[in-house]
Structure 1
Amino acid sequence: MKPSILIVDDEETMLDLLTMILEQDFSITTENDGAKALQLLHQQTFDLCLLDIMMPWTDGLDLLKQLRSLGNGVPVIFISARGELEDRVEGLELGADDYITKPFEPTEVIARVKSVLRRTGKELDQQEIKQSGIHIHLLAREARINGEKLKLTPIEFELLATLIQHPKQAFSREQLLERIWDYSYMGEARTVDTHIKNLRLKLRKAGFQEEGIQTIWGFGYKWGV
């Protein structure tokens, strides 16, 4: 089962955009009214709430205050056009888990959502992936080929799991940096190439003969099997 996310924003275009960004990996519910969202959060359990601040009647800050006063600990990420330092600090001090400023990049939203879910123990519920003779157990962080465990570094494991979970999807080097090294990583994008090279070598040594990780020249990589 996919982690469930409630998105609260009074702009329908923003709800549509965030749904499009997140619906592949998450179960999405949307609400354009803060008061109705508060009622929904009393009735249902969500793994995460994406919350706009500037909404009529019940704004995001008031909604979060009410949630926390009632003991509702659902993880909250504010998404707001208010990007001044004092705004971000206020949101975090009220109990938000993160703060994203509009406009944003889709990859930033995905990375921050997954980061909060990791911290709160609500990661993607898919525990095992089996494909082309490769068996990945996400919770145990193990990868095996024909029953033999691969000796992968944490970065190599994340690369392999990310690519296999999204077969045929092309990832740029920058996207992989944001997903695996965290969105704030400021390193050289070509760092990815070195880890991909080492990962391919380990796959071949373990007997994986197919060209699983394919290079997209000038862009990045995809899992092509």
Structure 2
Amino acid sequence: MTMDIETSEYVLDPAPAQPENLGTILVIEDDPRMQKVLRKIFVDERYAVVVAGDGHTGLELFRSERPIAVVLDLILPGISGRELCQTLKSISSQTPVIILSAISEVVDKVLLLELGADDYVTKPYSPRELMARVQAAIRRQRKPPVASTFRFGSCEVDFKSMTAWRSGTPVVLTAHEFKLLKFFTENLHRVLTREVLLNEVWGYNAYPTTRTVDNQILKLRQKLETDPATPKHLLTIYGAGYKFVP
């Protein structure tokens, strides 16, 4: 507080600027204790948080708040998490939905993804893991769309039809090789660690080893590089990871 000498009036100093939040995350969870934990996790990372304790309220908040991501518990009163996930995606397919689930069976995880979930976290989970998954889902949603056809060197790849050619000759790539290559084309000239590739391409629950990354990149080089022993596009950055140069 300061005082104006001429008028003898006190003038309040302007309040310090508050950091702008990064967007609103909708948490749909019926356990009050977990609501408090989840709110703290996201508020600490500068997100605004709205919380719903049941499916109907969650749906109303989704429509009114337009969140940048949803964290959704599977077991809810009113509307089941599965049904709600489908409904949310039908309203806004671009909004990431991350499921919280105690289910560990592979068939149920596949079902969740088929319902439209962008990711799932199996309970119990660490706050760091959950935050990483939510932020990764938000980043994927915000990435500018990549053209269906990508050309580099003597290669041409059509990600939509999953076809590839080198020097005009068809090249057979597996679905996972297409996925890895697409991630590289979305991150041109960026050094990608093996851990980033494992998380973003294989997924957190796949549990492959870093050697898996090396082997698949070796196969891509053999199929797409003119001289796989001295690659010009899929480059190794020793001590760091890999970089793609078109």
Residue 128 of structure 1 corresponds to 148
Q: Does 1:33 align with 2:53?
A: no
Partner amino acid, structure 1, of 2:152: S
Give the letter for the 1:50 counterpart: V
In 1, the alpha carbon distance for the partners of 2:156 and 2:65 equals 34
Indicate conservation of the 8 Å contact 2:24/2:49, yes or no: no
Q: 1:72 aligns with which of 80, 87, 96?
A: 87
SS at 2:195's partner residue? Answer: helix
Q: Residue 25 of structure 2 aligns with which residue?
A: 7
State how far apart, in whole Å, the 2-side matches of 1:15 and 1:142 are.
44
Deviations 1:185-214 (A, max 9, x none): 22331122122122112222499x971111
The alignment-based identity, stated in percent, is 24
Change (3 A) 1:73 1:17: same
The aligned amino acid for 1:104 is: R
Please point out which of 35, 41, 51 is paired with 2:71.
51
Closer, same or farther: CA 166–15 of 1 in aligned 2, 3 Å? farther
C-alpha deviation, 1:156, in angstroms: 2.4
Asked if structure 1 preserves the Cα contact closer than 8 Å seen for 2:149 and 2:156, the reply is: yes
Match of 1:154 among 175, 183, 187: 175
**Deviation, structure 1 residue 181:** 2.8
Of 104, 116, 122, 2:128 maps to 104
- Partners in 2 of 1:173 and 1:41 — Cα distance? 36
Distance 2:201 2:163 in 1: 16
Task: Give the total of aligned pairs.
Answer: 182
Post-superposition Cα deviations, 1:146-185, rounded to whole Å, max 9, x if no partner, equal 5543222333222221111111222221222233333222
Structure 1 stretch displaced more, 194-203 or 138-147: 138-147
> Based on CA coordinates, which of the two structures has the bigger radius of gyration?
2
1:157-172, aligned counterparts within 5 Å? 157-172=178-193
CA contact (8 A) 1:168 1:223 kept: yes
Shift of 1:128: 1.0
Q: What is the identity, as a one-letter code, of the residue corresponding to 1:72?
A: T
Q: 1:190 aligns with which of 204, 211, 232?
A: 211
Q: TM-score, normalization: structure 1?
A: 0.56
* CA displacement, residues 11-35 of structure 1 (integer Å, 9 cap, x when unaligned): 48726849xxxxxxxxxxx762246
Alignment RMSD: 4.7
Q: Which residue of 1 aligns with 2:93?
A: none
Change in Cα spacing, 1:62 to 1:182, as seen in structure 2 (3 Å) is: same
* Higher RCO structure, 1 or 2 (CA under 8 Å, sep 6+): 1
* 8 Å CA contact retained: 1:143, 1:157: no
Letter of the 1:202 counterpart: K
Whether the 8 Å CA contact 1:136–1:161 is kept in 2: the answer is no
